[in-house]
Amino acid sequence: MDVYFSTVVRQGPISQGGELVHIDWSTKKVHAKAILSPTDPLITEKDDANPRGNSRGGRGIVKINNTIYVATYHSLHLFDSFLRPKGKISNNLFVGLHEIFLNDNVIWLTSTAIDCIIGIDTQGNYIDCWWAREDANLKKHFSLTPLKIDKTIDNRMLWLKVLPARQPSHTHLNAVAVHQEQLYVLLNRFGAVYNTTTNRFVLEDPSIAGCHNLVFFGDKILINDTKGKRVMVYTQDGKLVRSLNLLDFPEINAIYQSASQFPQAKSSSFFRVFNLFSNFMNREHEIKSPLFLRGLSPVDQSRILVGFSPATIAEFDIEKGKLLDIFSYSQDIAVCVHGLLACS
């Protein structure tokens, strides 16, 4: 089985802020890797002073035939199976891309910084978009106000210094999926899954606020409860079936305990000042966080891959609740898995 994953290096130089990595899962051999950084337009530390992920590294991944599409902050980068560059796709509304999803040759991307999803074809041509803060049901339910944005101009560099925690209506829409021809989104801030086709809530679980990833898995829905360090399993009508607490597994708990010994965000006086400001603003996460769950990919009808920091991927039998295998790419707590894709 081939596994592709992207990383983000918190506090790292933006030009070296993450990678796309290809490994053989059976041998754990790294076949290839490529640096991922936001260029054209170029983003530097002068543009993005946020020491967390923000514009660093890679995000969601899909594979179409022999081409790998991986998201960065404002672009899709295309690679062949050896991770040699094949091109790039961007759009004036690609702002803070997170997870992406492929359905019938349409790539759906979450433009998280501006709370929207955008559909394009495999050549990058615009197909459709949907805006969370303009949906009547969401506006009423969460008391949201529409984002003040000019959708006709190039927005890619305009939101780098906007702190989501200071936007009371920000939903942090960070995952999208298509299931049975209906489109679903994950609203990270509220722990909610919303069907944009039928305009109804599938689930709302405030206990998983700050969550990542949305996977339809057989007749279930899987979500990474990032702060709770659990993989949540729901029915498709939103009832919690079970949760898989990663700290219950000794091998993963040992990684967590070791990573927890590292000092949090201590690299420079600037970052220490930013950290104090972040705490004052009630930012959702510390700059570096051990066992930060992000990255979720089905393998077959019972097995899944789960990513967490420091950059590690674990294979589980979700039905039996068993840890089957584990691969650690880095011991550095700053290096986090973001996108994750298993290919048979």
Domain spans, the chain: 2-343
Instruction: Go through 105-135 and write b for each residue having 16 or more CB atoms within 10 A of its CB, e for each that does not.
Output: eebbbbbbbbbbbbbbebeeeeeebbbbbeb
Chain segment 274-295, per-residue pLDDT in tens: 444 444 334 434 567 899 999 9
Rounded CA-CA distance 246/10 in Å is: 22
- Residue 259: phi, psi to the nearest 5? -65, -30
CA distances from residue 140 to 114, 194, 206, 210, 265 in whole angstroms, order as listed: 19, 14, 17, 21, 38
Contact 209, 223 (CB under 8 A): no
The parts of the chain modelled with pLDDT lower than 70 are 165, 263-287
Contact 94, 87 (CB under 8 A): no
Q: What is the pTM of this model?
A: 0.93
pLDDT at 46: 94
CATH topology for the 2-343 domain: Neuraminidase (2.120.10)
pLDDT at 266: 39
Chain segment 319-330, per-residue pLDDT in tens: 999 999 999 999
pLDDT at 276: 43
Q: What is the CA radius of gyration of the chain?
A: 19
Q: How many residues does the chain have?
A: 344
